[in-house]
Amino acid sequence: MTLVVFVFLFSLGATAVEVEDKGGVKIAVTRKVSQCSSEQTAETQDVVHVHYVGKLQNGVTFDSSYWRKQPLRFQLGANSVIKGWEIGILDMCVGEARQLTIPPELGYGNRGAPPSIPPKATLVFDVELVDLVKKPHAYDYLLTAKMVAVPLTVALIAYLVYKRVTDQSLEEAEAKRERKLQKRKKK
C-alpha cells in the first residue's frame, strides 16, 4: 500500500515525505528549515505559536487557526493541549511545517469533542511553528525554589500549630494546678 501511495504521489509530481512514529504520533515533515539553531527549536516549557488546520481522517476540517487569523499560543509541557500535540510539536523549528496524525488515545479519546470530533477519532493536523518564546533560564531555579519552598512552608505551619497546641496544653495544665492549689489553701 505504501508503494502504491508513493507511486501515485510521484506521478503527480509530489516529493516523498518520510513519516516518523514518535510516541504513537505519526509525524511527516512537510516543510523543512535549512538552518535551525537551538534558540529556534521548540523545547518543553517554551511558549509556541502554531498555525494549524485540524481534520478528521475523512478530510473534513473541524478547526483552523487561520479562520481566526491568529496562531494558537501555548506552553509546551503544560498539558494545555492534547497529548498528540505535545509530542508532535516538540523539537520543531520556527518555520517548519508538519502533518501530525494523532490516534484517539493521544487526542480526544473515547469521548471525542462533540459536535465536531466524534468519539475514537484519529485526527490529522497540518501545523506550522510560526514563532516561539524560549523559557527563561531562571525558570529552572524558580521551579527548584518552589519545590523546596512548599514543603518547608507546610513543615513550618505544622510546627507552629504543634507549638501553639503544646503551649496551650502546658498553660492549661499550669492553670489547673494553680486552681487545685487554691482549692487546697481554702480548705
Please indicate whether residue 108 is annotated as part of the active site: yes
Catalytic: which of 82, 89, 102, 117?
Answer: 82
Confirm if 130 and 73 have CB atoms less than 8 A apart. no
Q: Please classify residue 47 by burial: count the beta carbons closer than 10 Å to its beta carbon, then call 0-12 exposed, 13-18 middle and 19+ buried.
A: middle
Side chain identity at 119, as an amino acid letter? Answer: P
Catalytic: which of 89, 102, 117, 125?
Answer: 125
Catalytic: which of 46, 62, 91, 126?
Answer: 62
Please indicate whether residue 62 is annotated as part of the active site: yes
Please indicate whether residue 8 is annotated as part of the active site: no
Please indicate whether residue 52 is annotated as part of the active site: yes
Rounded to the nearest 5 degrees, what angle is found at the Cα of 23, between the Cα atoms of 135 and 41? 30
Cis amide prior to 115 (ω within 30 degrees)? yes
Catalytic: which of 27, 89, 108, 117?
Answer: 108
Q: In which residue are the cell numbers 525558570 written?
A: 139
Please indicate whether residue 125 is annotated as part of the active site: yes
* Active site residue ranges: 52, 62-63, 82, 108, 125
